[in-house]
């Protein structure tokens, strides 16, 4: 029974993982909001509603963009911590997602200046469904890893 | 579209069935086949919809036609006859001649037909036939026997109708072809009064003002010519007919005979038909008869023969029809046709008296007054307006006149017919008369070409036909498949795959009723007219599934419905449409989500017939394109007024280019024509390094200029008086426009503060919404949104990476989104001589649903072609219809889902497009996927609803509905492929790909699209030799079009292409409607130095020659010739060095080749035949599109000739394959 660095890492990641789960859930809700306009069809056709809706979309996209960096950095923090704690198995489980994040972040569409979640682009049903799938997958991954971290934390605390 | 198409197949089918039995007598076959054809259309619809299966018979029937054509060609004197028949003017004089020769011609025809017939069955006949036709078409088209028939049709068509029509025939079955062609003819005729065969008829019979009407209703034309006469029709009509004839020719006696005979036999037939009991069948019959008529009209030769024969041999008709001897029949046939015609006319007249007249009138107006017509209709009370519109529809239908142009879509006619026949098996006794009038006209023409002889059989078959139920007919149609569109084509062998005229849209394989009701392909097209059942099947086919939309197209006829309740499905909000099913009187089942809805009380009353309890006859259920005037439910605030703001660049660069003069001049000229009502507002902003506003408040003695130099924090100096009422301040506005061009002549300001000017414009517009027109001549260099040059001229011809296709800043995109939220669209006119970063600037229009115009190296005096183009574009731009604060929603049957949109708009929720403005020249594309298997449905529907505020402040909803069959086999999917739509959709996808990934990726994807689909096709067709490159007939143009795309400015590499040019081409691909885009991708090339009357159509008293399409290859260019290339927005006339001096003198107005100037943009009006022909051909081409193209004459040593030669896409260039090499390349990849 000892409080090792590894145990600390798992405890911290447990907390942060909860945050990531929240992010993922928020993403799912946001994409759902983007996908469907909850107004009645007649209202949708109303020009006044158009402005409101557009503002909504822009706000959501703005928030989405804001959340990209925190999420990615939290996850890379995990990886660094597990690297330091020499938790190879846990690191191995997280590395694919790390690379995916890197790819997502650095893949600039041609030479446009902005990041992902550009309103006109994200409103494309194709992109939207991709993003939504991605969010669901991440949610699943974070949930599973949450319990895995919990197990590992207890295991390291107990075993050592 | 679909409807006309539907008709054609039937005729073929009919032909088939009759022929089959009569197969033993080959000689008789041609005549018999033809006779069947007449019957055929009728029967086929009823009985043998599947006609496809019976190709050979079909062919034979066409061959009969074919033969006639050649005969004509062979006998020179015949031509006169033909002409006479076609052209009313000629008609009178030659008529007598015609009569005598007609007999001879008939004989000739008969013989010819026999010969041809024999040849055709073996299929080898094509080549031999070709030469015979000679003048008619290049032999190349005739390769296949089936093609022969087609070609024959084509020839007819091309001659009589527009060239475009003819081409249609190829892709589908021969039957189909014939039909579409006809329909095509119809349309053109509508739009161009004289164009169609129908019109010709009308003219011949009665030279009255009917042109448009006549086209629509062939039979009607006769009766309708008598628009005034109509009601008394049956007897009167024939009488009228006779009278006209008699006046024309001396052979009155013959005519009399005819008349008598006709009324006798024909009338009987008709009567039978009418009484036949099957409502649906009746229209068909009428159609078939019409067909017979039209044929003569359509096929010049045929028509002439018919006309002549009719007069002399009239008596024979009654006796012969049943016997239908082969040789002798031809003349008789003609007679019969004539007789039928008479009879038909009678029938129609009797059946459809009132509606015709109204519709015809409407149609006549067609060309210019769409808006007016619409408005008028809308203003009327709900019931009455509907009626008018409806009638119009019936008669002319949808007249796609302007926009349709080259692409001949039969659909309009179809809807009409469908009305008569009814999709759901309801008999609509009351309506039929009206419908019949409408229907017969259109369908008739199509069927005619193939079916002349059919008439003889007709009487015999007729009863049988009647017996057949419409439902049976529809069933058979559905089973029918196979067809010509699946005929394998060896691409490396067949070099001449281009149709004679334009490529037709394939017709969905629906039953006749639905086909007639279906939406015009010009408005609504699907890449696969047979929808695969599952996504797996779609994936196997390797073809993209998507829709191409042109929703706000200019329509001359459109049913406008005013009603307090708009009937929609309660769960999916689909508008009621022709493809819903009525479970009983009180309930209808949605065709998209299958929910059962109640029919509201109000809907039970039919304003058209003023009857109660017939919801299925309401115009909403009779037309696949309708417009509703929305009730107040659809608006929260009062509809916005029309507001126009012009933002003009007045920097030194702009003044130097001299565009201001043109813009101001155009505005002055069109100030009164700006769409709008009394609330219309207008404003002006100019900018260089500062932003200038103009106070135009009423009461000022002269316009006041207010300069804001604080471009970092722009504000509006006097927000109230910058946008002023157009009518109240008209004088001030005129003063300003007169003064503006000279106000900045001495400016030294070279900077351009576009960003701040746009911000100001946005502020000015945000309270109301409206349209901002931005004129920019250089790279914005000051304030927000400034840009830097990103183009490296050395990279222009790079084969590697093309960069900077995306925006450099998101300023313009954000601005566009803001504008879109405020219902403001930004239209960009970029007139620059150097790089202006269109990739960034275009964002302001892309996301605000604006449009983009680009004039590279614009200069008012140095580049007159561009100046002229600007002038013309502006005229169209300022006067065309406009819809404000629009939203468009596309719904589709459960199981399908839309996943990507292409065009200029902002997607607001997954199926709702936000369009701040919508204009009639905007096209859209969507990609779809199949999410759930469609096994439990045989039809899928798509519905586009465009809600907009008209310039008159009305909230309107335009609804298009398209219905397509679902198929389960891969072969069927290929059979239904619409190659043009596929190519356009791929172009859109490739643009996206090149921006998001890279140009090379996009090019690879395009090539792979061909390779994959052809490979997939070849793997399904097991009997094909793998060593050859085989494509189904429906996709035979696929590689050619893809090659053209690869050589298009947007996607080419290795050839020097300026970045802005490339980006502009990409913008065009995303926002142009299919018709225009196809011309951009694959221009039409015609040889014009030897225009003859061989195949002409008659439009508005003008003879329009119809030269065949040429391959886009230098091998077709000869030094002795002159060629016209139609690129959509520009016409090139290329003059060969040794071109005939008389041509140069007559057409160009210069004594010889050397004296033709380098920059020539107009053809002089020389009083010579060749000049007249050329000009009428060019103006005919021009009339068929909204934007008037610029003409450029190019000599061999002209530097502009590269512009011309770059379009010869079949040739090899330093950087790209020739067509043949490309095919070999594909073959290699396919075989891998």
Domain endpoint, select from B934, B958, B977: B977
- Of the candidates A82, A95, A99, A96, the one whose C-alpha atom is nearest the C-alpha of residue A152 is A82
Q: How close does chain B come to A124, measured CA to CA in Å?
A: 6
Q: Which residues of A touch B846 (CB under 8 A)?
A: 120
Name which residue leads in pLDDT, B347 or B933.
Answer: B933
B843: nearest CA in chain A?
A120
Q: Do B802 and B849 fall into the same domain?
A: yes
Nearest by Cα to B682 from B648, B645, B717? B645
Contact across the interface for B847 and A120, Cβ inside 8 Å = yes
Lowest pLDDT segment from A11-20, B291-300, B742-751, B947-956: B291-300
Q: Is residue B437 part of a domain?
A: no
A55–B821 CB contact, under 8 Å: yes
Write out the E strands in B833-954.
852-856, 883-892, 896-902, 906-909, 912-918, 924-930, 939-950
Q: What angle do CA B207, B212, B215 make, to 5 degrees?
A: 90
Which among B821, B909, B997 has CB closest to A35?
B909
Q: How far apart are CA B466 and CA B457, in angstroms?
A: 14
Asked if residues B165 and B502 have their Cβ atoms less than 8 Å apart, the reply is yes
* Closest listed residue to residue B697, CA positions, set B727, B680, B720: B720
ipTM exceeding 0.90, yes/no: no
CATH of the domain at B876: 3.40.50.410
C-alpha B551, offset from chain centre: 13
**Residue-wise pLDDT tens digits, B575-611:** 999 998 888 878 899 988 889 998 888 888 877 777 7
**CA of A48, closest CA in chain B: separation in Å?**
7
Give the whole-angstrom CA distance, residue B60 versus residue B119: 10
- Alpha carbon separation from B753 to B685, B688, B784, B857 (Å, rounded): 12, 6, 8, 21
Same domain (yes/no): B738, B655: yes
B910 reaches A (C-beta below 8 A): yes
Which of B977, B995, B1025 is the endpoint of a domain?
A: B977
Q: Do B1042 and B1116 fall into the same domain?
A: no
pLDDT band at B392 (very low <50, low <70, confident <90, very high): very low
C-alpha–C-alpha distance, residues B491 and B80, integer Å: 39
How do strand B1109-1110 and strand B1084-1087 relate by DSSP bridges?
A: antiparallel
Q: Dihedral of the CA atoms B480, B486, B488, B494 (nearest 10)?
A: 120
Most confident of B84-98, B540-554, B565-579, B1025-1039: B540-554
Those of residues 949-978 in B touching chain A at CB distance below 8 A are 949
Q: Cα angle vertex B698, ends B696, B700, to 5°?
A: 70
CA distance A61 to chain B (A): 12
Residue B1144 belongs to some domain of the structure: yes
Q: Does B581 touch chain A (CB under 8 A)?
A: no
- As given in the structure block, the two tokens for residue B672 are 């009164």
Beta-carbon count within 10 A of B1119 CB: 11
Interface of A with B in 55-84 (CB under 8 A): 55, 57-58
Largest CA distance in chain A: 66
Q: Which of B953, B977, B1001 delimits the end of a domain?
A: B977
Which residues share a beta bridge with B831?
Answer: B855
Please check the confidence at residue B1098 and state whether its pLDDT lies above 70: yes
Contact B637 A47 (CB under 8 A): yes
Q: Is residue B1104 part of a domain?
A: yes
Q: Please, what is the Cα angle at B254 between B250 and B256, to 5 degrees?
A: 100
Residues of chain B neighbouring A58 (CB-CB closer than 8 A)? 817
Contact B778, B834 (CB under 8 A): yes
How many whole angstroms separate alpha carbon B759 and alpha carbon B751? Answer: 17
pLDDT tens digit string along B680-708? 999 999 999 999 999 988 888 888 899 99
Provide long-range contacts, Cβ within 8 A and 24+ apart, for B205-211. Answer: B205/B240, B205/B241, B205/B244, B205/B245, B206/B240, B206/B244, B207/B88, B207/B89, B209/B364, B210/B360, B210/B364, B211/B364, B211/B1100
| Helix or strand (DSSP H, E) at B489 | strand B488-490
- Adjacent-strand bridge partners of B1124: B1086, B1133
Q: Which of 840-899 (B) contact A at CB < 8 A?
A: 846-847, 885, 887, 889, 897-899
Structural tokens at position B204: 């011949």
Let me know whether B1060 and B1115 are in one domain: no
Q: Where are the domains of chain A?
A: 5-39+48-159
The 3-state DSSP class for residue A149 equals helix
Q: What is the pLDDT of residue B1010?
A: 92
Summarised one tens digit per residue, pLDDT across range B158-198 is 333 333 333 333 333 333 333 333 333 333 333 333 333 33
Mean pLDDT of B792-821: 82
Confidence at B415, pLDDT banded by 50, 70, 90: very low
pLDDT at A74 over 50: yes
For B377-389, how does the pLDDT look when each residue is reduced to its tens digit (9 = 90+)?
333 333 333 333 3
Say if residues B37 and B447 touch (Cβ distance below 8 Å): yes
- Give the C-alpha separation, B295 to B298, whole Å: 5
Is the distance from CB of B446 to CB of B189 less than 8 angstroms?
no
Average pLDDT, chain A: 82
Q: Are residues B1052 and B1107 in the same domain?
A: no
CATH at residue B1177: 3.40.20.10
| Euclidean distance between CA atoms B992 and B985, whole angstroms | 11
Q: Are B1015 and B1035 in contact (CB under 8 A)?
A: no
Mutate to test the interface with A, among B791, B909, B944, B1066 (most CBs of A within 10 A): B909
Query: DSSP string covering B857-886, please?
Result: T--TTT-HHHHHHHHHHHHHHHHS--EEEE
Q: Which residues contact B925 (CB under 8 A, 6 or more apart)?
A: B546, B547, B548, B549, B901, B902, B903, B984, B985, B988, B1070
Is B694 in the same domain as B815? Answer: yes
Split at pLDDT 50, 70, 90, the class of B809 is confident
Under 8 Å CB pairs connecting chains A and B tally to 109
Query: Which residues in A lie closer than 8 A to residue B821 (C-beta atoms)?
Result: 50-51, 54-55
Distance from CA of B691 to the nearest CA of A (A): 27
Contact B803 A118 (CB under 8 A): no
CB distance B817–A58 less than 8 Å? yes
pLDDT band, residue B986 (cuts 50/70/90): very high
Kindly determine whether residue B912 and residue A44, on different chains, have CB atoms separated by under 8 Å.
yes
Look at residues B206, B239, B202 and name the one whose alpha carbon lies nearest to residue B221: B202
Asked if residue B634 has pLDDT above 60, the reply is yes
What confidence score (pLDDT) does residue A44 get?
59
B632 touches chain A (CB under 8 A): no
Give the helix/strand (H/E) hosting A46: none
Tokens of B221: 């034309």
Residues of B (164-193) whose Cβ lies below 8 Å from A: none
Nearest residue of chain B to residue A123 (CA atoms): B907
Same domain, B778 and B679: yes
- B766 and B855 both lie in a single domain: yes
**Which one of A50, A114, A128 has the shortest CB-CB distance to B908?**
A50
Q: Is A35 on the interface with B (CB under 8 A)?
A: yes
How many domains, chain B? Answer: 4
Residue B357 burial (CB count, 10 A): 23
Cβ contact A110–B997 (<8 Å): yes
Closest CA in chain B for residue A36: B909
The maximal CA–CA distance of chain B, rounded, in angstroms, is 92
For the record, the structure tokens of A64 come out as 């989405």
Let me know whether B707 and B794 are in one domain. yes
The predicted structure's pLDDT at residue B280: 35
Write out pLDDT tens, residues B12-35. Answer: 333 333 333 333 333 333 333 333
Q: Centre a 10 Å sphere on the Cβ of residue B598 and count the other Cβ atoms it contains.
A: 11
Q: Does A118 touch chain B (CB under 8 A)?
A: yes
Comparing B969 with B489, which gets the higher pLDDT? B969
Q: Do A123 and B899 touch (CB under 8 A)?
A: no
Residue A146 tokens, joined: 């949450």
What are B949's two structure tokens?
A: 């505020």
Express each pLDDT in B339-366 by its tens digit: 333 333 333 333 333 333 333 333 333 3
Q: Which residues of B fall within a CB distance of 8 Å from A45?
A: 634, 887, 947
Nearest to B823 among A47, A123, A125 (CB): A47
* Residue-number span of the structural domain to which B798 is assigned: 643-881
Model confidence pLDDT, tens digit, residues B416-447 = 333 333 333 333 333 333 333 333 333 333 33
Q: How confident is the model at residue B1115 (pLDDT cuts 50, 70, 90)?
A: confident
Predicted confidence at residue A108, as pLDDT, reads 55
Whether residues B928 and B1048 share a domain: the answer is: no
Q: In whole angstroms, give the CA distance from residue B611 to residue B815.
A: 53
Nearest CA-CA partner of B1058 in B843, B789, B867: B789
Assess whether B1221 and B1105 both reside in one domain.
no
Q: Find residues 757-786 of chain B whose CB sits inside 8 Å of chain A.
A: 769
CB contact B547 to A (< 8 Å): no
The CA distance from B1148 to B1143, in Å, is 7
Which residues 6+ apart lie within 8 Å of B823 measured at CB?
A47, A50, B640, B768, B769, B770, B884, B885, B916
For residue B916, the distance in angstroms to the closest alpha carbon of chain A comes to: 9
Q: Do B907 and A36 touch (CB under 8 A)?
A: no
Residues of B in contact with A123 (CB under 8 A): 906-910
Write out pLDDT tens, residues B1004-1039.
Answer: 999 999 999 988 888 887 665 667 788 888 888 999
Give chain A positions within 8 Å (CB) of B885. Answer: 47, 50
Given pLDDT bands bounded at 50, 70 and 90, which one contains residue B666?
Answer: very high
In the block, tokens 């036609």 appear at B65
Lowest mean pLDDT among A86-90, A128-132, B80-84, B993-997: B80-84
Do residue B510 and residue B618 come from a single domain? yes
pLDDT, position B293: 35
State how beta strands B643-649 and B681-687 pair: parallel
pLDDT of residue A41: 57
Q: What percent of chain B has pLDDT over 90?
A: 20
Disruptive mutation site among A47, A128, A132 for chain B (greatest number of B CBs within 10 Å):
A47
Distance CA B453, CA B591 (A): 41
Contact status of B636 with chain A (Cβ, < 8 Å): yes
Determine contact, residues B294/B218, Cβ cutoff 8 Å: yes
């Amino acid at each position: 029974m000892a409080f090792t660095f590894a145990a600390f890492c798992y405890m911290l990641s447990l907390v942060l993982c909860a945050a990531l789960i929240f992010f993922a859930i928020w993403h799912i809700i946001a994409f759902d909001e983007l996908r469907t306009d909850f107004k009645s069809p007649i209202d949708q056709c109303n020009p006044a509603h158009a402005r409101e809706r557009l503002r909504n979309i822009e706000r959501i996209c703005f928030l989405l963009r804001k959340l990209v960096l925190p999420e990615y950095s939290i996850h890379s923090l995990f990886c660094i911590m597990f690297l330091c704690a020499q938790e190879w198995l846990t690191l191995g489980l997280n590395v694919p997602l790390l690379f995916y994040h890197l790819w997502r972040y650095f893949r600039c569409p041609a030479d446009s200046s902005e990041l992902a979640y550009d309103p006109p682009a994200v409103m494309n049903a194709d992109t939207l469904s991709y993003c939504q799938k991605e969010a669901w997958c991440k949610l699943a991954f974070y949930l599973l890893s949450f319990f895995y971290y919990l197990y590992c934390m207890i295991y390291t605390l107990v075993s050592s | 579209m679909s409807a006309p198409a539907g008709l054609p197949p039937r005729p073929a089918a009919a032909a088939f069935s009759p022929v089959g039995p009569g197969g033993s007598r080959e000689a008789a076959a041609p005549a018999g086949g033809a006779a069947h054809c007449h019957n055929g259309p009728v029967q086929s619809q009823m009985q043998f919809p599947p006609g496809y299966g019976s190709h050979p018979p079909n062919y034979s029937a066409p061959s009969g036609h074919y033969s006639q054509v050649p005969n004509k060609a062979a006998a020179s004197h015949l031509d006169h006859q033909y002409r006479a028949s076609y052209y009313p003017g000629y008609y009178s004089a030659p008529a007598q001649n015609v009569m005598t020769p007609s007999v001879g011609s008939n004989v000739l025809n008969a013989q010819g037909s026999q010969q041809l017939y024999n040849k055709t069955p073996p299929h080898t006949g094509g080549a031999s036939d070709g030469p015979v036709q000679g003048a008619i078409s290049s032999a190349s088209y005739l390769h296949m026997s089936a093609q022969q028939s087609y070609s024959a049709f084509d020839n007819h068509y091309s001659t009589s109708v527009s060239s475009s029509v003819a081409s249609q025939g190829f892709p589908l079955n021969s039957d189909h072809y014939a039909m579409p062609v006809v329909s095509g003819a119809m349309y053109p005729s509508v739009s161009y009064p004289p164009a169609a065969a129908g019109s010709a008829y009308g003219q011949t019979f009665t030279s009255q003002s009917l042109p448009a009407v006549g086209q629509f209703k062939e039979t009607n034309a006769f009766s309708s010519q008598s628009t005034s006469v109509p009601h008394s029709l049956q007897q009167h009509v024939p009488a009228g007919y006779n009278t006209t004839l008699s006046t024309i020719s001396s052979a009155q006696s013959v005519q009399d005979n005819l008349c008598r005979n006709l009324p006798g036999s024909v009338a009987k037939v008709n009567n039978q038909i009418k009484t036949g009991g099957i409502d649906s069948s009746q229209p068909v019959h009428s159609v078939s008869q019409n067909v017979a008529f039209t044929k003569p009209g359509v096929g010049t030769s045929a028509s002439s023969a018919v006309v002549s024969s009719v007069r002399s041999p009239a008596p024979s008709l009654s006796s012969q029809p049943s016997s239908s001897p082969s040789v002798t029949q031809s003349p008789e046939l003609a007679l019969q046709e004539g007789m039928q015609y008479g009879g038909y006319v009678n029938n129609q007249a009797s059946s459809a008296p009132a509606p015709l007249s109204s519709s015809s009138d409407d149609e006549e107006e067609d060309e210019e007054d769409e808006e007016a017509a619409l408005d008028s209709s809308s203003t009327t009370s709900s019931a009455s307006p509907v009626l008018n519109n409806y009638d119009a529809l019936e008669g002319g239908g949808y007249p796609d006149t302007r926009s349709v142009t080259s692409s001949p879509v039969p659909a309009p006619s179809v809807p009409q017919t469908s009305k008569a026949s009814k999709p759901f098996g309801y008999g609509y006794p009351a309506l039929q008369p009206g419908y019949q009038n409408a229907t017969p006209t259109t369908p008739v023409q199509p069927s005619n070409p193939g079916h002349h002889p059919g008439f003889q059989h007709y009487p015999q078959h007729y009863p049988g036909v009647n017996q057949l139920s419409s439902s049976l007919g529809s069933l058979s149609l559905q089973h029918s498949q196979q067809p010509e569109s699946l005929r394998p084509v060896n691409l490396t062998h067949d070099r001449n795959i281009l149709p004679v005229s334009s490529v037709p849209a394939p017709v969905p394989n629906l039953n006749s009723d639905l086909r007639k009701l279906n939406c015009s392909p010009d408005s609504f097209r699907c890449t696969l007219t047979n929808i695969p059942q599952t996504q797996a099947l779609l994936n196997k086919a390797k073809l993209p599934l998507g829709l191409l939309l042109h929703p706000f197209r200019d329509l001359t006829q459109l049913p406008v419905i005013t009603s307090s309740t708009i009937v929609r499905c309660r769960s999916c909000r689909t508008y009621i449409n022709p493809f819903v099913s009525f479970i009983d009187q009180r309930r209808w089942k949605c065709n998209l989500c299958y929910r059962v809805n109640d029919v509201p009380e109000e809907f039970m009353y039919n304003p058209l017939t003023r009857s109660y309890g017939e919801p299925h006859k309401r115009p909403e259920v009779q037309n696949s394109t309708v417009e509703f005037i929305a009730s107040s439910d659809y608006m929260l605030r009062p509809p916005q007024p029309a507001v126009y703001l012009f933002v003009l660049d007045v920097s030194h660069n702009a003044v130097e280019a001299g565009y201001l003069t043109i813009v101001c001049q155009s505005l002055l000229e069109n100030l009164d024509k700006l769409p709008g009502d009394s609330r219309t507002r207008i404003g002006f902003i100019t900018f260089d390094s500062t932003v200038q506003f103009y106070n135009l408040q009423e009461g000022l003695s002269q316009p006041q200029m207010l300069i804001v130099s604080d471009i970092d924090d722009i504000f509006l100096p006097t927000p109230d008086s910058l946008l002023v009422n157009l009518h109240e301040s008209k004088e001030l506005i005129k003063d300003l426009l007169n003064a503006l061009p000279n106000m900045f002549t001495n400016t030294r300001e070279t900077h351009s503060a576009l960003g701040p000017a746009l911000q100001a414009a946005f502020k000015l517009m945000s309270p109301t919404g409206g349209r901002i027109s931005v004129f920019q001549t250089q790279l914005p260099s000051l304030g927000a949104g400034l840009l830097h040059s990103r183009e490296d001229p050395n990279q222009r011809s790079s084969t590697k990476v093309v960069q900077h296709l995306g925006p450099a800043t998101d300023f313009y995109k954000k601005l566009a989104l803001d504008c879109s939220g405020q219902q403001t669209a930004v239209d960009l006119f970029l007139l620059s001589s150097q790089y202006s970063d269109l990739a960034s600037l275009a964002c302001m229009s892309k996301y605000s649903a604006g449009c983009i115009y680009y004039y590279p190296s614009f200069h008012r005096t140095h580049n007159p072609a561009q100046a002229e183009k600007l002038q013309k574009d502006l005229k169209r731009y300022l006067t065309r219809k406009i819809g404000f604060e629009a939203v468009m929603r596309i719904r589709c049957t459960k199981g399908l889902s839309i996943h990507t949109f292409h065009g200029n708009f902002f997607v607001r929720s997954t199926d709702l497009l936000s369009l701040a403005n919508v204009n009639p020249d905007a096209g859209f594309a969507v990609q779809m996927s199949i999410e759930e298997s469609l096994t439990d449905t045989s039809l899928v529907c798509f519905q586009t609803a465009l809600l907009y505020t008209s310039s008159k402040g009305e909230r309107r909803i335009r609804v298009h509905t398209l219905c397509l069959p679902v198929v389960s086999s891969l072969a069927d999917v290929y059979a239904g492929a619409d190659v043009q739509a596929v190519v356009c959709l791929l172009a859109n996808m490739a643009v996206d790909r090149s921006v998001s990934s890279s140009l090379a990726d996009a090019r690879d994807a395009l090539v792979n699209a061909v390779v994959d689909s052809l490979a997939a096709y070849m793997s399904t067709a097991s009997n094909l030799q793998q060593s050859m490159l085989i494509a189904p007939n429906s996709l035979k143009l696929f590689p050619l079009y893809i090659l053209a795309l690869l050589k298009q400015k947007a996607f080419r590499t290795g050839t020097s292409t300026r970045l802005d040019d490339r980006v502009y081409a990409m913008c065009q691909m995303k926002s142009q409607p299919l018709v225009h885009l196809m011309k951009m991708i694959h221009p039409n090339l015609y040889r014009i130095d030897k225009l003859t009357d061989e195949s002409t159509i008659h439009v508005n008293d003008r003879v329009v020659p119809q030269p065949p399409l040429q391959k886009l290859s230098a091998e077709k260019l000869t030094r002795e010739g002159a060629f016209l290339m139609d690129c959509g927005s520009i016409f090139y006339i290329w003059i060969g060095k040794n071109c005939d001096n008389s041509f140069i003198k007559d057409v160009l107005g210069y004594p010889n080749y050397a004296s033709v100037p380098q920059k020539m943009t107009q053809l002089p009006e020389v009083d010579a035949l060749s000049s007249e022909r050329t000009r009428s051909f060019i103006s005919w081409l021009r009339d068929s599109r909204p934007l008037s193209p610029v003409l450029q004459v190019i000599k061999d040593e002209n530097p502009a000739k590269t512009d011309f030669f770059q379009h010869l896409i079949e040739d090899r260039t330093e950087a790209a394959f020739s067509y043949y090499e490309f095919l070999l390349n594909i073959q290699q990849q396919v075989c891998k």
